[in-house]
Amino acid sequence: MKRIDIFCNRLLILGFILFLFSGYPLVTVYSEQSGNMEKKKDEKENQLKEWRDTLKYGIDTEVLDVIRKIKESKETALDKDMLSVLEETVNSDVRKAIIEIFSERKNLAAYGTVVGILQDFDEETDDLLIASLNYIKSVSGKIKKEKLGDLREILREIVENGNKNIAPLAVKTIASVGDKEVEDFLLEKYGADDTPQSLKNAIVLGLGQMKSTKALPTIIKAAEDTDNPRILRMYACEALGNIGDRSAIKTLKKILTEKDALLRVYAASAISKFQQDEETIKLLMNGLRDSNWRVRVQCAKALGDGKAKEAVDILEYKVLHDPVKQVRKESVSALGKIGTKGSFAFLREVFENSKRDEYTRLQALGVLVRSDFKNSIDVIKKVIRNSDRRAYKKFLENIAKTVSQQKNGASKELLRLLLNDTDPVIRIYAMRGIKLNSFTDMKALIKRISENDESDIVKREASRILETFKESSK
């Protein structure tokens, strides 16, 4: 009996030891993960310390290199350190690089220092001033009204006395801030005999950006005066579109009849910005007949953006018959935006018709998969099955590419069809579409391809996609 007890006790001890050791790998894994995290944390801290020290004590070229790395890494922990450098350094390249980072981040922290740089504009380099003005534009929506006083006066001074590179940009900066208190100043400057033409151009654009109705008579006159430089009249058209006052339509309509094609493009673009009604739609539809293809493109885009159902017939005509592919493309896009059942049915007919050019057919497909995918699956399948594999090889590959880029549950049926295609490129696109849509129930098919496909490239792609499925399931 005693021997049995001893034996049982030994078994219990052995079991306890086994239990401890069975947990050992788990503890080890946890310790390793924790250790790796600590290591990465230490590495980051060391990297930040190294960068911080370089910002404080490094030579200018080293500082510039660190600023570049901070920008690429999107690191924000050193913002205060960079601000200190911005305030203390005399190197304009370093200051410019730091301002560009804060501009990209729309970070208001550098505002005070930048205003100080602009205040001393006659002592600074053009590159630094341009970066500073661009910074003000980037943070304009965050500047509180009470902070505008000094800035307004500084910008006015730059407009008055800055050189030809800086003064026009200062006008655009005023416009981006939206400070209407400078309207009178800009109008007065525009009318002055000694104002350079480049500055007049910038003022017209700036007043348009500010939607200055006070400036409307001046800008209309600038647009209508055929003795004015072409660039000024173009900018005046753009400004009229931005202001959006319907009294300008008469002027823009007249410019649409002029011989200068680029002026007509700007006039059409301006009309497209107005709230569409019978008058503007008619003007834009007439613009689709313009001999300059850029005018036709602009008008097609505007009619699409305005969802002008009245334009469906002429847009369909443009898709079928316009000699310029950019016009056909924009007309297809416009029909998709208008989005009637009839326009989608028309685009399906275009895509299916092998007598149409491949470029336009693919544009139609792009609209259909984005806007009417479910109703277009049967037509897409039909084209894939019936197209000559040799004559339409590239075309079919582009169909597969377009379908594979759609995140849509309805694509599964098409992707399954493409997965069995004889073209290895098409099979790769099919697998990418499966990955994009996370169709995990199709993993078995991809696994079979990774093991048995005749193409090594396809097999490698299948293996790569299987790995991404594994990663996403963790």
pLDDT of residue 33: 59
pLDDT of residue 410: 87
pLDDT of residue 16: 47
* C-alpha angle 152-153-155 in degrees, rounded to nearest 5: 65
Instruction: Report the amino acid identity of residue 303.
Output: L
pLDDT of residue 149: 75
Query: 179-235, pLDDT tens digit by residue?
Result: 677 888 999 999 999 999 999 999 999 999 999 999 999 999 999 999 999 999 999
pLDDT of residue 18: 46
Residue 237 to residue 284: CA distance in whole angstroms: 15
pLDDT of residue 146: 64
pLDDT beneath 50, residues of the chain: 2, 4, 11, 14, 16-21, 24, 26, 29-30
pLDDT of residue 177: 83
Residue 474 to residue 471: CA distance in whole angstroms: 5
Q: Cα dihedral sign for 367, 373, 377, 379?
A: negative
Beta strands per DSSP E along 132-290: none
Going from the C-alpha of 134 to that of each of 131, 166, 229, 371, the distances in angstroms are: 5, 11, 27, 38
CA-nearest of 148, 145, 143, 150 to 117 is: 150
CB 385 within 8 A of CB 418: no
pLDDT of residue 469: 82
pLDDT of residue 335: 98
Phi, psi angle pair for 14, to nearest 5°: -60, -40
Going from the C-alpha of 356 to that of each of 26, 361, 413, the distances in angstroms are: 64, 7, 26
pLDDT of residue 19: 45
pLDDT of residue 176: 86
pLDDT of residue 244: 93
Show the tokens assigned to 92.
């304009």
